[in-house]
Amino acid sequence: MKNFLIILIMKIFYFILKICGKKGGNLLGKIAYDWNPNIFSYFKVNCPVIAVTATNGKTMTNNAIAYTLKMAGKKVISNTEGNNMETGILSTILKHCTLSGKIKADFLVFEVDESYVPVIFEEFNLDTLVVLDFFRDQLDRNGEVESLILRINEFLKTYNGNLVLNNDDPNVARLGKANPENNHIYYFSVEKYKYASKNIKEAGEGKFCPFCNSRIEYQYYQYSHIGKFKCPNCSYGENEIYKLATDVNLKNRTFKVDDIPYQIRFNSIYNVYNFVAVISCVSLYNINTKIIQEALAKFVLNNGRLEEVEIKGVSTIINLAKNPTGANVSLRILNEDDEEKELLFVLNDNIADGLDVSWIWDINFDTLNHVSRIITAGTRAYDIAIRIKTSGFDQDKIEPYLNLNEAVKNLYKTNTKKYIIANYTSLQPTRHALGL
Amino acid sequence: MKELRILYLYPDILELYGDFGNIQVLQYRLEQRGIKSTVVPYSIGDTHPDFNDYDLVFAGGGADQEQGILAEDLLKYKDNIKKAIKNGVFFLLICGSYQLFGKYYKGVEGNIIPGLEIFNYYTEALADRKKRCIGNIVINTNLNGKETKIIGFENHGGQTFNIDTPFGNVLFGNGNKFGDKTEGFFLDNVIATYLHGPLLSKNPELTDYIIKHCLDRKYNDDFILEPLNDEFEKKCRKQLLDRFLTN
Ligand SMILES: [Zn+2]
């Protein structure tokens, strides 16, 4: 079928969906892609394309980049709904292009699922790629983390655009060596923060140098395997830093980059990394510092990513956790809070979650700070209850419910502050059960 | 105070799929009964352990690249390990380490990673890297004469052949190969299996079988283990067995 016809039909279809109050998700892209898998090369893009990929933090970082560029007065098209596979990105483009495939914007900003980076940008001219981190995530679908990194590395061998890399993740920093000809590599880093540790607290990846197989040495760990590392043998890890966050104060939610203070709405070390990536990325396009400051001070996500709400008058913090790192970040925030609280952990094992729930054993539940009760729910409510019990938390203070509504009802029997951790497919049902 | 000593092999390399949870479950069930547990990690570069000094040896699975690095290291202990197995030290081997105790592992490109050759089975990778045995699995095994269902999660590309004494019969899932009838390898004091989950988290009877085996041998006695509050485990097993076995 002719491409303009595909686009026309999709536009009519999208119009109908909108009338029905639906967003469409990946659907438009899926149909178009089935009709012509080469449709990507039909689009005419005359503006910079920015992509963000990672295991964790894609949505946060992508949306903050788009938000900042918009605040600078740019026209931005972005998949801020988190549809990050090829069909999701295609859907976003289809909604915004002309019939001849022209896209009128100042920037395209996409979060891209880590396994789709090589697929999507083979045809599509990428200006800046931001890579945040690689953790174990949905191993079912991607195979081992290593093969995923190798595929992106292979793609980067012939890539000459900007590459913004987290210098504190050995799995990411190595990508800077994929193409020695590329002199647009920008490393970001975060100075040691208050809760950094000498030893690793949470399970991680990447213990051996990918270039010489020596064991990597760490000066300190910020969280999980993110920290100051280097290879003692070949000095891998020692790079010139483009943007470094200093003076991190999570209590006040502030940090500095190039001596310029930033205020953010989030309170975890992991978000500081996301925002330094944002600052690195938009600085490449000469966005005014004042605008970046203002954008980061206002930026929030109301979709269960560290969402702070009041429910029945009780302070509640909800966070998505697709993997151990996400859950550990939530528990870090919980443990840095000295108030008494209760935890709800919702765990599903649907296909989109990855059928394997063994990752919950990589969550650090040791020495929970002032947690008086834990409720578990989801299709794997008992698995997570067993996990928490085995870590030493009193079994009598754990209540598992397969039924989510029952779990929520019992959670709000008390007025104690709530922390809620939900994995991928359980997040929206949980928000729904909470009345959000 | 009674004590079990556990040697934990390559905890920093063989650490995929939460296999460390097996150690946590063992320690939990020992501590609840007032039995001390000492876990000694061993990895590349540490002083050489004597496997006979331990009651239980545990090893998990790892990423392919890292597995090659440690196969070489493990070969140094071949004779010592053989002796320990003969002496009755219990070995619990999951996934990658299961494969390493066999004759060899043949990779996708035809490359051979030599195993310890302690047992006669061998493993071959499927030509298609993307094809893996992945999913929930239930097997039926016999623990001291008692039929017991074991619930776990398998995720392996390797197909293991030449097993005379499997860990169990497959009721749901794949097993040693795609669509196989049997899973793992089982001798009195050796359980080698593809089951993650972690394996021991949903199978308290298996955990207690291992604990009893180790205690009986060490103290030359016939222990009756004090029952624990397994309410969550029982509910979990009922829920999952209903879900997997009744379709
Ligand atoms: Zn090196």
Which pLDDT belongs to residue A146? 79
Neighbours of A329 (CB within 10 A): 23
Q: Give Cα separations from A150 to A141, A165, A230, B15 (angstroms).
A: 16, 16, 20, 20
Quickly state the pLDDT bin for A1 (edges 50, 70, 90).
Answer: low
Which pLDDT belongs to residue A173? 96
Tokens of A105: 């914007």
Asked if A163 and A83 sit in the same domain, the reply is: yes
Is B175 a residue whose pLDDT tops 90?
yes
Give the gap in angstroms from C-alpha A145 to the nearest C-alpha of chain B.
8
* Helices of type H across A238-380: 269-283, 289-298, 324-335
Asked if A186 and A287 sit in the same domain, the reply is: yes
pLDDT digits (tens, 9 = 90+) for A97-116: 888 888 889 999 999 998 88
Cis, peptide link before residue B198, omega less than 30° from 0:
yes
Percent of chain A at pLDDT above 70?
95
Which pLDDT belongs to residue A202? 67
- What torsion do the CA atoms of A10, A14, A16, A22 make, to the nearest 10 degrees? 140
Which pLDDT belongs to residue A203? 61
Domain containing A351 — which CATH number? Answer: 3.90.190.20
Task: Give the HSE-up count for residue B206: Cα atoms under 13 Å, Cβ half-sphere.
Answer: 27
Question: How remote is the CA of residue A147 from the centroid of ligand 1, in Å?
Answer: 19
Which pLDDT belongs to residue A32? 80
A68: helix, strand or coil: helix
Interface test mutation site (partner B, options A358, A376, A401, max chain B beta carbons within 10 A): A358
Which pLDDT belongs to residue A419? 97
Q: b/e string for A347-364 if b means 16 or more Cβ within 10 A? A: bbbeeebbbbbbbbbbbb
Identity of residue B25: V
Which secondary-structure segment (H or E) carries A146? helix A145-156
CB contact under 8 A, B232 and A203: no
A353 in contact with B at a CB cutoff of 8 Å?
Answer: no
Is B194 a residue whose pLDDT tops 60?
yes
Which pLDDT belongs to residue B245? 95
Q: Could you write out the three-class secondary structure of chain B?
A: CCEEEEEEECCCCCCHHHCHHHHHHHHHHHHCCCCEEEEEEECCCCCCCCHHHCCEEEECCCCHHHHHHHHHHHHHHHHHHHHHHHCCCEEEEECHHHHHCCCEEECCCCCEEECCCCCCCEEECCCCCCCCEEEEEEEEEEECCEEEEEEEEEEECCEEECCCCCCEEEEECCCCCCCCCEECEEECCEEEECCECCHHHHCHHHHHHHHHHHHHHHHCCCCCCCCCCCHHHHHHHHHHHHHHHCC
Is A95 a residue whose pLDDT tops 90?
no
Higher-pLDDT residue of B7, A103: B7
A141 in contact with B at a CB cutoff of 8 Å?
Answer: no
Which pLDDT belongs to residue A30? 82
B109 in contact with A at a CB cutoff of 8 Å?
Answer: no
Is A138 a residue whose pLDDT tops 50?
no
CB contact under 8 A, A382 and B198: no
Longest dimension (CA), chain A: 64
Identity of residue B49: P
Q: Are B160 and B126 in contact (CB under 8 A)?
A: no
Asked if A234 and A348 sit in the same domain, the reply is: no
Is B154 a residue whose pLDDT tops 80?
yes
Is B231 a residue whose pLDDT tops 90?
yes
Is B120 a residue whose pLDDT tops 50?
yes
| Average pLDDT of every residue of chain B | 93
Is A395 a residue whose pLDDT tops 70?
yes
Asked if A282 and A316 sit in the same domain, the reply is: no
- Average pLDDT score over residue span A5-24: 76
Is A8 a residue whose pLDDT tops 70?
yes
Give the gap in angstroms from C-alpha B133 to the nearest C-alpha of chain A.
10
* Helices of type H across A58-115: 58-71, 86-96
Which pLDDT belongs to residue A205? 60
Tokens of A76: 């931005």
CA A36 to chain CA centroid, Å, is 30
Q: For A305-309, A329-333, A336-340, A432-436, which range has the lowest pLDDT when averaged over its residues?
A: A305-309
Number of domains in chain A: 2
Asked if A313 and A343 sit in the same domain, the reply is: yes
- Average pLDDT score over residue span B192-212: 97
pLDDT digits (tens, 9 = 90+) for B72-98: 899 999 999 999 999 999 999 999 899
B42 phi/psi in degrees, rounded to 5: -130, 130
Tokens 């008086």 sit at which residue? A372
- Average pLDDT score over residue span A391-400: 97
Asked if A251 and A311 sit in the same domain, the reply is: no
Quickly state the pLDDT bin for B108 (edges 50, 70, 90).
Answer: confident
pLDDT digits (tens, 9 = 90+) for A285-305: 999 999 999 999 999 887 778
Is A142 a residue whose pLDDT tops 50?
no
Chain B residues close to A389, C-beta within 8 Å: 28, 232
Last residue within a domain, chosen from A244, A264, A298: A298
- Residue length of chain A: 436
Give the gap in angstroms from C-alpha B130 to the nearest C-alpha of chain A.
7
Asked if A348 and A408 sit in the same domain, the reply is: yes
Which pLDDT belongs to residue A279? 98
Q: For A126-140, A189-203, A297-311, which range has the lowest pLDDT when averaged over its residues?
A: A126-140
Question: Chains A and B: how many Cβ contacts under 8 Å?
Answer: 91
Question: How remote is the CA of residue A211 from the centroid of ligand 1, in Å?
Answer: 5
- What torsion do the CA atoms of B218, B223, B227, B232 make, to the nearest 10 degrees? 40
Chain A residues close to B130, C-beta within 8 Å: 143
Chain A residues close to B21, C-beta within 8 Å: 358, 361, 387, 390
- Average pLDDT score over residue span B21-41: 96
Tokens of A288: 């005014």
Give ipTM to 2 decimals: 0.96
Give the gap in angstroms from C-alpha A227 to the nearest C-alpha of chain B.
17
Pairing, β A49-53 against β A76-78 = unpaired
Quickly state the pLDDT bin for A84 (edges 50, 70, 90).
Answer: confident
Is B12 a residue whose pLDDT tops 90?
no
Chain A residues close to B64, C-beta within 8 Å: 144, 146
Chain B residues close to A402, C-beta within 8 Å: 239
- Of the candidates A3, A95, A435, A57, which has an alpha carbon nearest to the alpha carbon of residue A269? A57
Question: How remote is the CA of residue A231 from the centroid of ligand 1, in Å?
Answer: 5
B93 phi/psi in degrees, rounded to 5: -125, 125
Asked if A201 and A87 sit in the same domain, the reply is: yes
Quickly state the pLDDT bin for A326 (edges 50, 70, 90).
Answer: confident
- Average pLDDT score over residue span A151-165: 95
Tokens of A74: 């740019």
- For residues A391 and A365, give the distance between their C-alpha atoms in angstroms, rounded to a whole number: 6
Last residue within a domain, chosen from A268, A298, A328: A298
Q: For A23-27, A148-152, A154-158, B218-222, which range has the lowest pLDDT when averaged over its residues?
A: A23-27
Which pLDDT belongs to residue A141? 44
Tokens of B15: 């650490």
- Average pLDDT score over residue span B126-147: 91
pLDDT digits (tens, 9 = 90+) for A268-284: 899 999 999 999 999 99
Q: Which residue of A has its CA nearest to B12?
A: A207
pLDDT digits (tens, 9 = 90+) for A195-238: 888 887 666 565 788 899 888 999 999 988 899 999 999 989 99
Percent of chain B at pLDDT above 90?
79
Question: How remote is the CA of residue A163 from the centroid of ligand 1, in Å?
Answer: 21
Asked if A10 and A80 sit in the same domain, the reply is: yes
Q: Which domain holds residue A30?
A: 2-298
Which pLDDT belongs to residue A204? 59
A187: exposed, middle or buried (C-beta count within 10 Å: 0-12, 13-18, 19+)?
Answer: buried
Asked if A292 and A328 sit in the same domain, the reply is: no
A119 phi/psi in degrees, rounded to 5: -65, -50
- Average pLDDT score over residue span B53-80: 86
CB contact under 8 A, A215 and B65: no
B114 in contact with A at a CB cutoff of 8 Å?
Answer: no
Query: Of A146, A358, A398, which has the smallest distance from its Cβ to B197's Cβ?
Result: A358
A246: helix, strand or coil: strand
A129: helix, strand or coil: strand
Is A308 a residue whose pLDDT tops 90?
no
A157: helix, strand or coil: coil
Tokens of A158: 């012939």
Which pLDDT belongs to residue B85? 97
Q: Give the CATH architecture of domain B3-245.
A: 3-Layer(aba) Sandwich (3.40)
Q: Cβ contacts of residue A351 below 8 Å, gap of 6+?
A: none
Last residue within a domain, chosen from A253, A271, A298: A298
Is B109 a residue whose pLDDT tops 60?
yes
Residues in a beta bridge with A52: A111, A130
pTM of structure: 0.79
- Ranges of each domain in chain B: 3-245
- For residues A268 and A250, give the distance between their C-alpha atoms in angstroms, rounded to a whole number: 6
- Residue length of chain B: 247
A415: helix, strand or coil: coil
Tokens 């070489």 sit at which residue? B72
Q: Are A122 and A47 in contact (CB under 8 A)?
A: no
